Structure 1
Amino acid sequence: MRLRVEFTTEPFDLDEPPAHALAVREVVQSADLDKVDVGPFGNTAEGGADEVLSAVDMLLRRALDAGATRVSLQVNVVEGEA
């Protein structure tokens, strides 16, 4: 099964990325995922179920440890792909 996770962390800072945003960026970019898109207002990562779920666990832990007050995420099964 393939999964796609979309997530954001708060609070936002338009002047420079906060520590929690940098922490989760590092998590998804270093994870064994096939597709990663990091943007200023949202991030997307895609890969096998085990890899995505492991990355979600780590990104939640790192974001909260680095000062995030809110993490919003959505996980979807990627249709048509095994």
Structure 2
Amino acid sequence: MRLRLEFTTEPFDLDEAPAHALAAREVIETAGLDAVDVGPFGNTAEGVPDRVLPAVDALLRRTLEAGATRISLQVNVIGEQAGEDGG
């Protein structure tokens, strides 16, 4: 199974990346995920559950510790790994 993670952290600051946004970027960029896209209005990454789920845990913990007041996230199943039974 492959998962796609989409998330944002708030509050927004268009002048400078807040500490919670920097923490989120670090978590996602070091989690061994694929198709990482980090931007000011939304972030995405893909990977297997064994990497995505721990990254979600770390993302929530680290961004809250860094001052996030709201974290919006969505996780979608986007496909199966090669060789896995789809049924």
Which TM-score band (shorter chain)? Answer: over 0.9
Identity between Structure 1 and Structure 2 (%): 77
Aligned with 1:17: secondary structure?
coil
Q: Which moved more, 1:31-40 or 1:7-16?
A: 31-40
Aligned with 1:26: secondary structure?
helix
Which runs of 5 or more structure 2 residues have no equivalent in the other structure? Answer: 82-87
Which runs of 5 or more structure 1 residues have no equivalent in the other structure? Answer: none
Q: How well do the aligned residues superpose, as a CA RMSD in angstroms?
A: 0.7
Tell me the TM-score normalized by structure 2: 0.90
List 4+ stretches of structure 1 deviating above 2 A: none
TM alignment of 1:12-23, pairs within 5 A: 12-23=12-23
Tell me the TM-score normalized by structure 1: 0.95
Measured in 2, the distance between the counterparts of 1:34 and 1:69 equals: 27
Match of 1:78 in 2: 78
Measured in 1, the distance between the counterparts of 2:4 and 2:12 equals: 23
Between structure 1 and structure 2, the one with the greater Rg is: 2
